[in-house]
Chain A
Amino acid sequence: MRMRIIGAAVAAVAAMAVGSCAPDSGYDSISDYDVVVTLYEPGVDFRDFTTFSVADSVLHLGNPDGEDDGIPEVIDQLILDQIEAEMIRAGYTLEPDPESNMPDVTMLAAITVTTWKGYTPGYPGYPGYPGYPWYPWYPWYPGYPYYPGYTYEYDTGTILIDMADNSTIDETEESVEVIWTAGINGIVSGSSTTNQSRIVGTIRQAFDQSPYLKKD
């Protein structure tokens, strides 16, 4: 009897120990893993800027020479269009002829896709054992089968958006000061429609979480 109680106590402690681990997060949709980071240059008053332009192309960081990196061209135009729409929504005025009339700020965009590979090892099977007829708390245990390991691979996409202050252009150093940056990261879905929808939503989120950009 005492052995049964001790055995039950040991089993209870083992169960509580396993149960005390943190559960899985429960996030099971690809869009659950979208992240938007925004940073601003301290001391800048965005009310000083009124006009803007958007770069005419998106820089592909993984293939700056323009070779095909698998990112559809439609994504590039979607990014540029959404940036323009959000800047207008924030109260800025699009400069129609930026080459003749330098706008206050220029929006730049870059994109890259990273492939992640991993391997989850399997485990060998474990044989079962017979029960003990005089201990009803220890029934027959069926064991568990061999479980093979598996490899996995997934892509994450990152979009970077910079707001450059054109009054700080240094033609000698070929530099310009960036006063606002947004970084968007998420898992690339197999559905192009889903990816495009999420790009629109996350670019909007980048502007929504930067209320200091808005003109009142």
Chain B
Amino acid sequence: MKRYIAVLLVMALSPAAALADEAYGVVTYDLSFPLSDLKDYIDNESWRGFGLEGRWLRTDNISIGLSLHWNTFHAKSSELLEIENGNISGNQYRVAYGVPIHVTAQYYLRSPLDNPDFIPYVGFGVGTTWIKRRLEVGVFAFEESSWRFGLAPEAGFMVPVGYINYLTFTARYDYAFKSGDEPAYSYWGLRVGIVATR
């Protein structure tokens, strides 16, 4: 896996194969919704998230890049915790962070080089995701964090808006594989942001 990521990184960052120096910087605000085991732990949407991406156009319709997103989920709970042969009661504060760092690829159904009014695209990211889970009960806190293999398919569109270059809207699904005793975590979200081109 590390070898594949290294190859993708070289392809993405190689200036020799860049097409007309077309590069994009993307900044997004992320709204995310937990799924499966993450939803069992925190059944609250995340209004605290952002993303940073760099993309380099390789052909008329394909770009490759790097992305980093940060999503914070948090919730209070007073439900009785079940443990082996017992229970714990007390006010809980639950926090989970999802930080995917991916190599990405995007396919634009209309080439940005043609300056269309509307550019739908699909994309896929693969890389590593840092997950941190924190549970506070009373004056006690328990934390667990790990780096996992992660995937993120997405679909969205870009709309040219003059000097900013583009507004972008994306729907994305993030999946972080299980690590040790910790289950897999997944969430989906909506990203809205700006795309600046060089």
Contact = CB atoms under 8 A, between A and B. Distances in A.
Given A22-B72, A26-B76, A35 B87 contact: no
B139 A156 contact: yes
Given A6-B196, A20-B70, 19 more contacts: A9-B194, A12-B27, A16-B50, A17-B70, A20-B71, A22-B72, A27-B76, A33-B90, A35-B89, A35-B90, A37-B83, A39-B83, A40-B85, A40-B86, A42-B85, A205-B89, A209-B80, A209-B89, A210-B87
A17 B169 CA distance: 19
A20 B88 contact: no
27 contacts: A2-B163, A6-B196, A9-B196, A13-B52, A17-B50, A22-B48, A22-B97, A25-B76, A27-B76, A27-B91, A27-B93, A33-B90, A33-B139, A34-B90, A35-B88, A35-B89, A35-B90, A36-B90, A37-B87, A38-B87, A39-B86, A40-B86, A41-B85, A185-B139, A205-B89, A209-B87, A209-B89
A185 B138 contact: yes
A20 B50 contact: yes
A35 B29 contact: no
Nearest to B52: A13
B80 to A, nearest CB: 6
Enumerate the 3 nearest inter-chain pairs by beta-carbon distance, A residue then B residue, closest first. Answer: A35-B138, A16-B50, A35-B90
Contact of A20 (B27, B48, B194): B48
Interface in B133-148: 134, 136-140
Given A1-B163, A35-B89, A187 B49 contact: no
A166 B23 CA distance: 78
B70 A186 contact: no
A23 interface: yes
Secondary structure type dominating chain B contacts: strand
B18 interface: no
A187 B140 CA distance: 11
Contacts, number: 84
Give the bracket for the number of chain B residues in contact with chain A.
20 to 34
B7 interface: no
Contacts of A187: 139
B161 to A, nearest CB: 11
Contact of B88 (A36, A40, A42): A36
Given A13-B27, A20-B72, A156-B139, A37 B86 contact: yes
B74 interface: yes
Given A1-B163, A22-B95, A38 B90 contact: no
Interface in B43-98: 48-50, 52, 70-72, 74, 76, 80, 83, 85-91, 93, 95, 97
B164 interface: yes
Given A25-B136, A33-B138, A38 B74 contact: no
Nearest to A156: B139
Most buried by B among A5, A6, A37: A37
Q: Which of A1, A16, A19, A27 has the most CB of B within 10 A?
A: A16
Nearest to B29: A16
A195 B194 CA distance: 55
